[in-house]
Chains A and B, each alone.
Chain A
């Protein structure tokens, strides 16, 4: 169908302004010397005033990393990364102090542009609290904002403290709660886990730490916002969330980066631990810069995310909306160790332009009567490649393991690819696994129906896509669902016509 003038113009407009978060903030920053060596690791550790055990832990990871080779099994192609041509630490120069007012106004402006509510109540979507009253509790989100390598602000500290919840940058937690950090750090994703996780263990600079004490339901959503700003820097954050017995926490994560010609590296590690009867809900909206229309620039996103349902009846739920990054290599997983524990993975992965996505999950059933559910929706447009790679496995002793997997792919255009690579391994007879996958394009009939009723081609595609991903969007916390819906329409704009 030939594009009407209106469509053509719209697409053109989108082309130059497709990525909304591509601006750069000019602030002075404090960087580690370029390149990676033991000195870099020592530099980062010293910058963070870390105790000796932490430095030793990093150095051990670094030595191991030097013996490892980059994995090549994923369906992604990229030029060889020169790990010596990167900055491993970059921090805004002005040291942030106790109050938010002391943050560099440029950074605050950046977060304002991104729509991140750093200024607590006043920023909450412009909703003023009723006179004399507190804003309704369910609308609050505590934010930890990470700018390049360091955390610049963590909001709502007081209220969280009252509930006993610890939510702080991990660099502070290493100093203030060394017992907790030492007990859990690296127990879910060991330093030797994989190439990128080991690199992260050596050079991670900041990230968030959450500890929810027994029986506490975290009074608000916790959120981290990551932004890569500096040129040539890699961002290596580390998140550790522990939900003690009977507790609950919902955690959100968002990411953006400026538009740059060169590729930037992001290698994060996220570890979740749930003890008996605890639950963690982890939601991500990943919108790193995906590169321009010719496939130049963009973030390399190599992330290791894993949750360990250590206690019985515990639950971990991953929800992700992946629209950004030039390359995504990410498999949020659940180790279902505790009896009756359950894991969930809801994912929407959208790729356009020259993006390459290789994402999925692992559900490792070890305990008895464990269950897991995987819903994955992949949408490929433009010249992108979108792969779902997943593993469901039941150990010999994991009697009564149950899994349901549905992964659907939608192709928009004939230059893209959608792939499904599931591994289903059952090692005992009481395991019941179901897996289904479909790939198709948007039916011409449905599009015709919509267009005939006055929708433009793009609106019609948007409508169908939204219906396609509805199962996953419903799992997102409300604030994110709206954002995600917008993101989906942005990343698919210009893919038809």
Chain B
């Protein structure tokens, strides 16, 4: 039931903030108008709350209360701190593009000697450039989703990646989001990645905090279009500070015979929400979506997935694992829709949660919405604790309890991590998971 709730004090504060920030936001004319409309769409709904079905388990009005003012552009000291943080999440062999406090940082990014057919620009450059169609695409909004609309209205910067037809990238592109502001603030970033026909690329997104970053809010949006016969491997790692918010969305569309393999790992942020929308626009395409949430303390992580099968002969697979300790709260909402003409769809979704503490909570809502008859669709959801008999077996062989648990947890999340195609990235994800387990022990 959607209930219109009167605008709160904080809602008003934000509209004033938008009026002030407007002048600072890149893009004039049509782009400014697009931002205004997006902001209006956000204002109509305000911060989502639990009476809105999609936000039932993640009530931002209770968790976040307000959207903070824009972070100031980073100064030299901030960039130095950010450089250290960026290094700590760096992946060997990847081409790094760094955004600090929502602003592209050329000094920390590696844009020299780009592959032929690869073009990387900052969003600011695109918004201020002559290609208005591209600028409009980058700021695409969703009026029905207030947080995507807000992101579209407020985005200060981001990365625009173009991969020309037939290009096979030699190294992964890593977009690194660093928060460094020392007073609580919000950052809004938006990136656009376009893969032409017959291209192959790997994209990594990392979120981390520099030393001294204070209770910030990272609002990120990613728009991806994958051309016919192209392939994108995508890995996303959220290691934000434990007092931070990360509200992100990705909107992916696939052409014909395209392939998208995505993996997300969330172990950071106090409250995080990742909204992934995948739309099949061409036949014969394939998507693998996998995710792991590793949560403890009072963390709250929400993964919301919308898989839109609009055309026939496409396959999708989702494997999602959540490990929830202490008083943490993991949410998985996955909706597969098979539209009337999408015959021969093969869609499967499996979500499993492991509860390590009596105060942990896991909510799963896997949905199927099917309008075509010649399809095979299924979903599964399980929730439970670690198997006592397995623990006993390991402990009987001399493993301390925490180690025995760690081994079983590793196997549990392994199923999702294994789906990462690239060896280096798989290894990277395994190491990140191990770090979490070690910190726990």
Contact = CB atoms under 8 A, between A and B. Distances in A.
Q: Do A and B bind each other?
A: yes
Contacts of A138: none
A440 B348 CA distance: 12
Contact of A413 (B369, B373, B381, B383): B373
Nearest to B343: A414
Contacts of A434: 380-382
B58 to A, nearest CB: 13
A73 interface: yes
Contacts of A72: 1
Given A72-B1, A439-B378, A424 B369 contact: no
Interface stretch (A159-167, A222-230, A367-375, A425-433): A425-433
B377 A438 contact: yes
Contact of B379 (A73, A420, A430): A420
A327 interface: no
Interface residues of B, number: 36
A413 B375 CA distance: 12
Interface string B364-382: 1111111111111111111
A409 B373 CA distance: 10
A439 B368 contact: yes
B372 A414 contact: yes
Of A71, A422, A429, chain B has the most CB atoms within 10 Å of the CB of A429
A417 B340 CA distance: 8
Classify the interface of chain B: helix, strand, loop or mixed: strand
Contact of B365 (A71, A416, A424): A424
B385 interface: yes
A413 B355 CA distance: 41
A429 B385 contact: yes
B209 interface: no
B368 A437 contact: yes
B358 A428 contact: yes
A399 B384 CA distance: 11
B385 A430 contact: yes
A77 to B, nearest CB: 15
Contact of A424 (B363, B372, B376): B363
Contacts of A334: none
A482 interface: no
A433 B368 contact: no
Contacts of B343: 414
Given A432-B385, A436-B379, A423 B373 contact: no
A411 interface: yes
B380 A435 contact: yes
Contacts of A275: none
B382 A435 contact: yes
Given A73-B53, A432-B383, A425 B363 contact: yes
A441 B357 CA distance: 41
B363 A423 contact: yes
A421 B374 CA distance: 20
A439 B374 CA distance: 10
A444 B417 CA distance: 36
B375 A435 contact: no
Contacts of A431: 355, 383-384
Contacts of A419: 367-370
Contact of A422 (B357, B360, B381): B381
B270 to A, nearest CB: 20
Nearest to A413: B373
B353 A426 contact: yes
Contact of A421 (B365, B371, B372, B383): B365
Nearest to B350: A436
Interface string A352-393: 000000000000000000000000000000000000000000
Contacts of B380: 434-437
Pairs A-B, 6 closest by C-beta atoms: A429-B355, A411-B373, A426-B383, A435-B381, A438-B378, A420-B368
Given A412-B373, A420-B369, 18 more contacts: A73-B53, A396-B359, A414-B343, A414-B374, A417-B369, A417-B371, A420-B368, A422-B366, A428-B355, A428-B359, A429-B355, A429-B358, A435-B379, A436-B380, A437-B368, A439-B368, A440-B376, A440-B377
11 contacts: A73-B53, A411-B372, A411-B375, A419-B367, A419-B368, A420-B368, A422-B365, A426-B353, A432-B382, A433-B383, A435-B364
